[in-house]
Structure 1
């Protein structure tokens, strides 16, 4: 499985717009993309404008399909307004093991 960790910093005063745009993107990704298995959004406790995403896809092709989706295009428009330029760091990987006692937020 293809995994992705994304780190990003949101501009001061843009947190609510970020959260609304990201929630719409994450929800549509899991709902509309058969290859998107997980899309978690986490805030950093020490910095309310710093976020991490954890995304899990069946394979790299499913992630490419995600980037070609209409909801991702809408998210990119929001991202241009709310993210600190140059702050987004994507780290792609491969899920090797998982252990969970899942609780939904």
Structure 2
């Protein structure tokens, strides 16, 4: 897949204020494992919006939808999902996108 047509996932979480530090530790660990261990993961960033300090947005770039599916089957993803379940409020908003330019 070309750089222009990468598969992008944007996931937005609302962290419990008292767990934000722990949540960010888990995000960093998942990002490092994803980029370091998954050949189909091109990049993985965690950002906090300036206007919503309790939100964390994960911006993940994969070679394909299949590479993202492989990501969701990894042990580090399972660990992340289990660890953060009690650190967040509500259900994260997850969008998949195709880079077009």
- TM over 0.5: same fold? yes
How far off is 1:17 after superposition?
0.7
C-alpha RMSD over aligned residues: 0.9
Q: Which residue of 2 aligns with 1:93?
A: 97
How far off is 1:46 after superposition?
2.5
Q: Which residue of 2 aligns with 1:66?
A: 71
Give the TM-score of the pair, scaled to structure 1: 0.87
Secondary structure of 1:73's counterpart equals helix
> Residue 11 of structure 1 is aligned with which of 16, 26, 29?
16
Per-residue CA deviation, residues 62-102 of structure 1 (Å, 9 max, x unaligned), is 0000000010011011121111122x1011010112xxxxx
- In the TM superposition, structure 1's runs of 4+ consecutive aligned residues that sit over 4 Å from their partners are none
Which structure dedicates a bigger proportion of its chain to helix?
2
- How many positions carry a matched residue from both structures? 96
Q: Which residue of 2 aligns with 1:102?
A: none
Structure 1, gaps ≥5 residues long: 98-105
Secondary structure of 2:48's counterpart equals strand
